[in-house]
């Protein structure tokens, strides 16, 4: 056997090192970071600070609710005050307007008695009636009613045995209301029974 034939080549297989992907490294780093975070506890002083901040936030929220409620109440009150102010101004204007209206009615009555043509005055009064109706101003019908101090003002009293005490027997000046608000009271004359009739009735 020759020397060359006795030497058989032996192949040595080298193992390639295993490769780790970037994702594998990323997962490992993430797991290490999470484990570190979980292992750390919040310091007591920081925990106390957080609790105080929570209490402060709760207080601020409560104060905000109160402030909002106060604002809404103020808004309602302001709106109510404005509405009252506007109604007062309208009532004051209507009071003056009604006085002028009364003058036109008296003028029409006097001129009609004198057989004067009052068609011009009637046209004016019609327009004035429309304005009163627009603002819901209505006359108070008092004749025959029982005296009501909220609507009427008595300036004279007559004895009348046929009527109940306080019955309105005469309207001296017409009164007006607007949406249950008194613009001007009706000036009236009322009746009363004599003291003798009252004593006999007992």
Query: Per-residue pLDDT tens for 139-155?
Result: 999 999 999 999 999 99
| Residue 40 maps to a domain | no
According to the 3-state scheme, what is the secondary structure of 6-33? HCCCCCCCCCCCCCCCHHHHHHHHHHHH
**199 with 182, same domain?**
yes
- DSSP 8-state secondary structure symbol assigned to residue 39: H
Q: Are the C-beta atoms of residues 161 and 197 closer than 8 Å to each other?
A: yes
Which of 119, 135, 151 terminates a domain? The answer is 135
pLDDT score of 168 more than 70: yes
pLDDT-above-90 percentage for the chain? 45
- DSSP 8-state secondary structure symbol assigned to residue 3: H
| Residue 165 maps to a domain | yes
**110 with 168, same domain?**
no
- Report the predicted TM-score, pTM, of the whole model to 2 decimal places: 0.61
Instruction: Find the radius of gyration of the CA atoms of the chain.
Output: 50
pLDDT at 30: 57
Which of 135, 160, 190 terminates a domain? The answer is 135
Which of 79, 100, 135 terminates a domain? The answer is 135
**117 with 63, same domain?**
yes
**146 with 126, same domain?**
no
**145 with 125, same domain?**
no
| Residue 8 maps to a domain | no
- Tell me the residue ranges of DSSP E strands in the chain: 137-140, 152-159, 168-173, 175-178, 181-184, 186-192
pLDDT at 66: 87
pLDDT at 9: 52
pLDDT at 44: 73
- Which three-class secondary structure state does DSSP give residue 177? strand
Q: Are the C-beta atoms of residues 193 and 166 closer than 8 Å to each other?
A: no
Return the CATH number at 149. Answer: 2.30.22.10
**117 with 151, same domain?**
no
Residue 193's CB: how many other CB atoms inside 10 A?
16
Q: Using CA atoms, how far apart are residues 87 and 163, in angstroms rounded to an integer?
A: 38
- Backbone phi and psi for residue 179, each to the nearest 5 degrees, phi listed first: 50, 50
User: Which domain covers residue 177, as residue numbers?
Assistant: 139-202
| Residue 116 maps to a domain | yes
| Residue 106 maps to a domain | yes
| Residue 36 maps to a domain | no
Closest CA to 147 of 180, 171, 182: 171
Give the model confidence (pLDDT) of 23-34 as tens digits: 554 554 555 555
| Residue 7 maps to a domain | no
**64 with 123, same domain?**
yes
Closest CA to 99 of 170, 183, 181: 183
Tally the domains of the chain.
Answer: 2
**108 with 160, same domain?**
no
**75 with 123, same domain?**
yes
| Residue 30 maps to a domain | no
**Mean pLDDT of all residues belonging to the chain:** 81
pLDDT at 148: 96
CA atoms within 13 A on the CB side of 19: 4
């Amino acid at each position: 056997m020759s020397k060359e034939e006795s030497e058989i080549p032996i192949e040595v297989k080298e193992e390639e090192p295993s490769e780790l992907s970037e994702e594998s490294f990323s997962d490992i780093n993430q797991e290490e970071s999470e484990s570190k975070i979980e292992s750390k506890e919040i310091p007591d002083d920081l925990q106390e600070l957080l609790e105080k901040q929570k209490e402060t936030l709760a207080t601020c929220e409560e104060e905000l609710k109160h402030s909002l409620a106060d604002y809404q109440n103020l808004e309602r009150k302001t709106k109510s005050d404005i509405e009252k102010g506007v109604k007062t101004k309208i009532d004051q204007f209507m009071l003056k307007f009604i006085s002028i209206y009364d003058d036109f009615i008296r003028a029409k009555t006097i001129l009609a008695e004198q057989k004067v043509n009052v068609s011009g005055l009637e046209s004016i009064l019609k327009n004035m009636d429309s304005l009163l109706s627009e603002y819901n101003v209505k006359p108070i019908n008092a004749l025959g009613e029982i005296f009501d101090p909220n609507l009427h003002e008595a300036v004279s009293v007559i004895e009348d045995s046929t009527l109940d005490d306080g019955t309105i027997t005469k309207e001296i000046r017409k009164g007006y209301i607007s949406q249950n608000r008194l613009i001007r009271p009706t000036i009236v004359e009322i009746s009363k029974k004599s003291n003798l009739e009252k004593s006999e009735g007992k």
